[in-house]
Every structure is written in structure tokens, then in C-alpha cells.
Amino acid sequence: MKRYGRVRSMSEEVDWDSLTFSLTPTDTMYLTETTATEPWMPGSLRPYGAIPMSPAAGVLNYGQGLFEGMKAFRTSKDRVVFFRPEENARRMQRGADRLKMPPVPESIFIDAVEQCVQANIKWVPPTGRGALYVRPLLMGSGPVLGVAPAPSYTYLVYVTPVGPYFKGGVSAIDLLISEDYHRAAPGGSGGVKAIGNYAPGMMPSKKAKAAGFAEVIYLDAETHNYIEEVGAANFFCVKDNTLYTPELTGTILPGITRQSIIELARHNGYDVVETKVSAEFAMGADEAFCCGTAAVISPIGSITKGGEKAVYGDGKPGPITEQLYSHLVGIQNETEEDLFGWLHEIPL
């Protein structure tokens, strides 16, 4: 395996201060393959680029695929770290069970993401100016015609430097509650990162953006009352110094950032309630934010439902949102102590 010394150059092709959440092709990706019956074996690095695939691949025809999203941070201690990568490995394993794919062992998952960051080290942004987004993919790549699991599978990792997920950086975003569309239904695949969960959200999201909103909030598909998620991020609101977040019912993605915020907030002395959060309750809250690997903690400035608009504070991030944001980002940048042992150093 190629190892890199402590003195590492950063790419001069990137203007780190203009990074958005978009694809910048990097040098190297990782790939390994297996069949439905053989164990996974460690794969190898290769130049970033297109992969050959059968037109009858399970992933192309029936959406048998999962992805993960994680970030590598260059910290103030001149280390490069992941944030809780074991959680991504485990979530992908649960997703693999749900989509009838062979789960990638945690050791192979972690080795792959580490190797990919090491090989693309020059693309890791300077401290506080973005992160290297790491995208593991697991897919049924072998050919299959009947609706059935593919005969073979590919686990692939690529990376790209990213900045803020929402336009305007960390300024508060305006969200629209979707009254016509849902993201997930009970018994479906909403609780795993199935690739097929995302395309159905594109049309509602585009419509909301055309109307001036940053993203949509989805309600539950049964009662249409309770908030589930914000596009591809989890939802929190704050009322009377208590945090509320939708409980995990199987239709919501169990976000690693969500879980970390629950732990951080409790550590900072706040009560956190995982419960059903009605749109009405959220619209009467003091603060609201959404969170995820890509979204980090994004303050919500307003929520609109039908003709009603709830504005939080004066459209600026609320104090508890700010506090949690600084604490989380501080841990990731190593300007705050890693109290919970969440950081995973990538050997360089």
C-alpha cells in the first residue's frame, strides 16, 4: 500500500474558499468485487474513472445499491481524521441485509476508505475550509433479468473535496413542508441508504427550490402530521431549552450526525426527546436545524406549510443551534476535545 510522509502538498488546482457540495474528480478510487457466495476480499486502488458494467446489472435495472457519505477532516493538530467511520460501516451492513447484498466486513470498509483518503491526500482541504467527502458504494453489478439479487457485487469508494451543502454556507435556510410527496413508507427502505430513496425526492426538491426554498421537509406517509426528514438530513427543533427530534421508526435514516448531536446536547446539559414531532409543534418551536454529514448543522430560518410560515428568531441561527454547531465542528477540527472518542486518525 502506498503511504505518504508527514509533509504533504495540497492541490493547487482547487480554490478552497469557493468549494461547494459538488463533484471535483480526484486521482484515485478503490474497488473490490465478490460473488453472492464468496467472501469479500480486500480490493485495490486504481485511477478514478468509469467502470465497465453489464447493461443487465442489478443496480442499473432494479436499484440494488447503497451508498454512504463520510468526511475526512484535516485538523488543527495536522492530522487527517474520520468522524465515527465504524458507524457508516455498520449502517451499510444493515442496508446490505435489507437489499439482499453481501455485507462488506467492517475491516474491509474501513481499510478502503482509509486507503482512498491516503491516495488522495492532496485533495483534503485545509483545516476549517471544507472536507474530503468520501463516498462508498455497494451495488449489485452482475447481470440479472428476473427481479432477484445480482450474482456479483462491487464495493467502490471515491472521494471529492467539498464545502457547504446548502447555498449561502451556514446562513439559515428556508424550508417547505411537502404536502404532496413522501420520502418513505412503513416497511420500505427509508431506514437505509438505498440509492433508490433519492431520485423520487428530486422533483419535489426542484419544485421547492424554484419557489425559493432550500429544500423540502417530508412528513410521515401514514398520518401526514409528523416530520420525518429534511431531504437528505435529519431534523431537530428546540423548545424551552429542550431538543426534539423525530424518533426512528424505520422510515427515517438513522443519521450519525443526529446520534452525535443527541449525545453532545445531553453532555451539555440539555434534555433531548426522541418522539413524534408534529409539523405544528415544530412550527411553534424556538429554534430548528437539520443535520447530516453533508449538511453538518444547518440552521433553519423558516418553515412554510401551505399558506403558513413560521420564522425562527430573526432568521439567524438560534443560540443552542450555534452552540452545538461550534462544539461538533470543534471536535471535527480538533479545536475541542474529542470527549467521546469519535475521531479515527487516518495513518499518513
Which does residue 253 touch among ligand COI, ligand PLP, none (CB within 5 to 8 A, set by kind)? ligand PLP
| Residue with smaller CB distance to ligand COI, 229 or 334 | 229
Question: Which region, judged by CB under 6 A, interacts with ligand COI, from 43-51, 199-207, 286-294, 304-312?
Answer: 286-294
Q: What is each CA distance from 208 to 125, 197, 289, 304, in whole angstroms? A: 31, 18, 18, 11
Query: What sign does the CA torsion over 315, 330, 256, 63 have?
Result: positive
CA torsion 98→99→102→104, rounded to 10°?
-70
The answer to whether 53 and 153 have CB atoms below 8 angstroms apart is no
Spatial separation of the C-alpha atoms in residues 149 and 37, rounded to whole Å:
12
| Residue with smaller CB distance to ligand COI, 144 or 192 | 192
Using CB under 6 A as the binding rule, whether residue 292 contacts ligand COI is answered as yes
Q: Residue 164's CB: how many other CB atoms inside 10 A? A: 17
If we measure between CA atoms, which residue out of 189, 191, 209 comes closest to residue 99? 189
Spatial separation of the C-alpha atoms in residues 74 and 86, rounded to whole Å:
19
Of 71, 193, 206, 309, which is the active-site residue?
193
Query: What sign does the CA torsion over 218, 220, 226, 232 have?
Result: negative
If we measure between CA atoms, which residue out of 178, 171, 307 comes closest to residue 230? 178
| Residue with smaller CB distance to ligand PLP, 119 or 325 | 325
Using CB under 6 A as the binding rule, whether residue 154 contacts ligand PLP is answered as no
Using CB under 6 A as the binding rule, whether residue 232 contacts ligand COI is answered as yes
Task: State the binding string over 171-210 for ligand PLP (x if CB under 6 A, else -).
Answer: ----------------------x-----------------
Using CB under 6 A as the binding rule, whether residue 229 contacts ligand PLP is answered as yes
Q: Contacts for 40-44 with beta carbons within 8 Å, 24 or more apart? A: 40/102, 40/104, 40/105, 40/108, 40/155, 41/108, 42/108, 42/111, 42/112, 43/108, 43/112, 43/155
Using CB under 6 A as the binding rule, whether residue 301 contacts ligand COI is answered as no
Task: State the binding string over 32-71 for ligand PLP (x if CB under 6 A, else -).
Answer: -------------------------------------x--
Q: According to CB under 6 A, which one of 189, 234, 245, 298 is a site residue for ligand PLP?
A: 234
Using CB under 6 A as the binding rule, whether residue 285 contacts ligand PLP is answered as no
Active site residue 206: no
Cell of residue 6, nine digits: 508527514
Using CB under 6 A as the binding rule, whether residue 255 contacts ligand PLP is answered as yes
Residue 166: CB partners within 8 Å, gap ≥ 6?
173, 214, 215, 295, 298
| Nearest approach, Cβ of residue 295 and ligand PLP (Å) | 7
| Nearest approach, Cβ of residue 232 and ligand COI (Å) | 4
Q: According to CB under 6 A, which one of 64, 293, 302, 332 is a site residue for ligand COI?
A: 293
Which does residue 256 touch among ligand COI, ligand PLP, none (CB within 5 to 8 A, set by kind)? ligand PLP
Q: According to CB under 6 A, which one of 233, 282, 288, 303 is a site residue for ligand PLP?
A: 233
| Nearest approach, Cβ of residue 289 and ligand COI (Å) | 14
Spatial separation of the C-alpha atoms in residues 221 and 227, rounded to whole Å:
10
Spatial separation of the C-alpha atoms in residues 70 and 92, rounded to whole Å:
12
- What is the binding site for ligand COI (CB under 6 A)? 69, 232, 292-294
Residues with a known catalytic role: 193
- What is the binding site for ligand PLP (CB under 6 A)? 69, 193, 229, 232-234, 253, 255-258, 292-293
